[in-house]
Amino acid sequence: MNQPAMGTWHRALGRGIAALMVLVCAAPAVAQAQRQPRGYRGLFGGNEADPDSRQSLNFTFSVNGGYDDNATAGEGGGTSDPRFQQASTFLGGSAGLSYGRRWDRATLSASASASTRYYQDIPELETSTSYGGGIGLAVNLGPRTNLSLSQSVAYSPYYQFGFLPPVFAPGPGDVIAPNPDLVVDEREALGYASSVNLSHRLSRRGTLGFQYGYSTRDYSDEGFGAWSTHSAAGGYSFRLGQGVSLRLGYGYRRGVFGMTGEDDRIRETHNIDAGVDYSKSLSFSRKTTLSFSTGSGVVRGLDRDGESRTRVRLLGDVALNHQIGRSWTATLAYHRGFGFADGFDEMYFSDNVTASIGGYWGPRTTLSASATWSNGRVGLTSDRNRYTTASLGTGVGFALNRFTNLTAQAVYYRYDFDEQPAPGYPSVFDRMGVRGGVSFWLPLLR
């Protein structure tokens, strides 16, 4: 990567973070977003903040090391040829700062984080650092009206294939940090995401909702296309009873894929948001909850051969959650949908299954395991470029005290495409590794 390009990206990142901090400092006093209450809490992290407290400030950092049986050693803008994928040990670290304040009718949350990793056995890979920050504001405009705003910025020196959407949507001020376990090449990128949500309760059972979102990701490599998306949606929800609602609405989404040497490729989607939202404990077990939602989508655009195509796709989510004792939770979830992925000049359509289990083994030890599998295709043509991805992970944590925690993890990731997924990348890629480290928590303001 040439030095002028590096300077441009770092200056842009600095402006983004500076703007973010100005918003944090200028915002009036509000309180940290309340998380779901937990029936059991271990030693590490201490007790929850005083419920009467108006603000909180927490600092966390960690140092870690590990081993990958497959680490990418591609040059910036180069390829990820399997011959350059080597086994290596690495050292790394991360730091994060989260802040929250509360008004009587508003809640503010903000966060900033950075992480770095150095591969000792691969001189071609320089030490690289990722940054991210986010701010969110939720305001009660009246007894029936709520507004939430969110803005985030993230910089990553690596390109990664995911296709594994998060099971839970990020909350206001949260940032989806780049995952270094999924990287396949060195390629700097700067991304922004904004969202606005407004809801108004018309009656005891009926609620109107409106959402708008914008996201973009721009690469410093001119040979790699940038992308951006706009989305807007509105709808009406009517509660039939405890945990059951009917939903009717419409959503529009426009994705622009910037392709080098070509005109921008545009994809438009129309969501007919008609369906059912359901979330209830099962009759045979009050500790087991089933939830699901349904919908449909229409995608229009030109395929790779220049032909106009329209695709109709049923959408849906199903989740089964089971509480085991006071401290363990097991979850099985399924998601069917479509989306936009940076680095690709087409949309992707996917079916995803996620299973996870985790909890406390006494007050000091936490255990967790998860598995995610995704199957789908890239593009509007149903018989081209199908893919599968899989991710496995296990972890254990041991609290030395309230402020120090030892961690160990084992991870596995693989993707397999029928065709080359993007210029310069192999069709099949996998990585297995182990990690270990120590984490620290420091409550600066409670």
Question: What CATH number does the domain containing 238 carry?
Answer: 2.40.160
pLDDT for 290-309, tens place per residue?
998 888 888 776 666 666 77
User: Does residue 42 fall inside a structural domain?
Assistant: no
User: Does residue 45 fall inside a structural domain?
Assistant: no
pLDDT band at 414 (very low <50, low <70, confident <90, very high): confident
Average of per-residue pLDDT across 103-116: 93
d(CA 172, CA 324) in angstroms, rounded, equals 29
User: Does residue 37 fall inside a structural domain?
Assistant: no
d(CA 277, CA 79) in angstroms, rounded, equals 45
Q: What is the pLDDT of residue 392?
A: 93
The one-letter amino acid at 314:
L
d(CA 259, CA 224) in angstroms, rounded, equals 7
User: Does residue 44 fall inside a structural domain?
Assistant: no
Quick one: what percent of the chain has pLDDT higher than 90?
A: 38
- Strand, coil or helix: 12: helix
Helix (H) or strand (E) holding 74: none
pLDDT for 144-193, tens place per residue?
999 999 999 989 887 766 665 554 555 665 666 666 666 666 778 888 89
Domain count, the chain: 1
> What are the residues facing 274 on neighbouring strands?
248
User: Does residue 14 fall inside a structural domain?
Assistant: yes
The one-letter amino acid at 405:
N
14 has pLDDT over 80: no
Cβ–Cβ under 8 Å, residues 146 and 95: no
* Residue 332 structural domain: 3-32+54-445
Q: What is the pLDDT of residue 441?
A: 95
Quick one: what percent of the chain has pLDDT higher than 70?
A: 71
pLDDT for 214-251, tens place per residue?
988 887 766 666 778 899 999 999 999 888 999 899 98
CA separation, residue 200 to residues 208, 235, 237, 251, 319 (Å)? 5, 11, 11, 18, 27
The separation between the first and the last C-alpha atoms of the chain, rounded to the nearest angstrom, is 43
φ, ψ of residue 346 to 5 degrees: the values are -145, 165
User: Does residue 48 fall inside a structural domain?
Assistant: no
User: Does residue 91 fall inside a structural domain?
Assistant: yes
Q: What is the pLDDT of residue 51?
A: 63
> What are the residues facing 128 on neighbouring strands?
117
Average of per-residue pLDDT across 34-49: 58
310 has pLDDT over 90: no
Q: Which of 201, 184, 176, 160 is nearest to 113 (CA)?
A: 176
User: Does residue 201 fall inside a structural domain?
Assistant: yes
pLDDT band at 20 (very low <50, low <70, confident <90, very high): very low
Q: What is the pLDDT of residue 78?
A: 40
Q: What is the pLDDT of residue 38?
A: 46
Average of per-residue pLDDT across 348-361: 92
- Strand, coil or helix: 121: coil
253 has pLDDT over 60: yes
199 has pLDDT over 80: yes
Average of per-residue pLDDT across 64-68: 90
Cβ–Cβ under 8 Å, residues 424 and 39: no
Share the mean pLDDT of the chain.
78
Paired tokens of 54: 């108006």
Q: What is the pLDDT of residue 17?
A: 36
Q: What is the pLDDT of residue 174?
A: 63
Higher per-residue confidence, 229 vs 199: 199
Q: What is the pLDDT of residue 372?
A: 92
pLDDT band at 88 (very low <50, low <70, confident <90, very high): confident
Q: Which of 33-42, 68-77, 371-380, 421-430 has the highest mean predicted lDDT (pLDDT)? A: 371-380
Q: What is the pLDDT of residue 338?
A: 83
Q: What is the pLDDT of residue 31?
A: 31
pLDDT band at 261 (very low <50, low <70, confident <90, very high): very low
- Strand, coil or helix: 383: coil
